[in-house]
Amino acid sequence: MVSLVPLTESEFEAYLEVSIREYAQEHVKAGNFKPETALEQAQKQLERILPDGFSTEGHFFNSIEDDSDQTKVGILWYAIDDQGRGKRVFVYDIVIFEEYRRQGYGLKTFKLLEDVVRKLGLAEISLHVFGHNQLARKMYKKLGFIETDLILSKKLSVRAVSLFPRRQ
């Protein structure tokens, strides 16, 4: 079993420092951001999502703890939002620390989150996952998540061609 324990503001700040860098790198890997501007773009996105930082209304930052010994095994950030379809919980980030991965903590955390969401009177959990993150996608499918929107890209090799031929 796992428990969700609210992060302190200092724990949140330490998490955020690492999280922004990792988020920027994921966007670079996905081809969404250029390496030289990725950190700045990630920071701007975060400022839009969390205009009041740790105190942004409706956002919850939790440590994931193993109940058997209160070991911190990860972090879960979720929010209650309404995107015009009714209220739902949106998972912004789940991190299972490296040494605790592939031990079922992600599955246990989402099962616990389902209980939290039901107690809130809500019936939906949504999240974003990068297409290249196959392990996470596999876990989400196992938990019953379905893909609701896909953006597909294909990288092409390009050779310069004039669209406007010269007149002779």
Backbone angles phi, psi at 2, to 5 degrees: -130, 160
Q: Which domain, by its residues, includes 51?
A: 2-142
Q: Count of domains in the chain?
A: 1
Residue 168, in any domain of the structure = no
CA dist list (Å): 38 to 4, 33, 41, 55, 116: 31, 5, 5, 25, 34
161 pLDDT band (50/70/90 cuts)?
low
Residue 154, in any domain of the structure = no
Residue 159, in any domain of the structure = no
CATH code of the domain containing 121: 3.40.630.30
Residue 62, in any domain of the structure = yes
Residue 151, in any domain of the structure = no
pLDDT at residue 144 in the model: 87
Lowest mean per-residue pLDDT among 39-43, 83-87, 128-132: 83-87
Nearest to 96 by CA among 149, 56, 49, 133: 133
Residue 117, in any domain of the structure = yes
Q: What is the pTM of this model?
A: 0.84
Residue 63, in any domain of the structure = yes
Whole-angstrom distance, CA of residue 51 vs CA of residue 71: 31
pLDDT, tens only, 30-73: 888 999 999 999 999 999 999 999 999 999 999 999 999 999 99
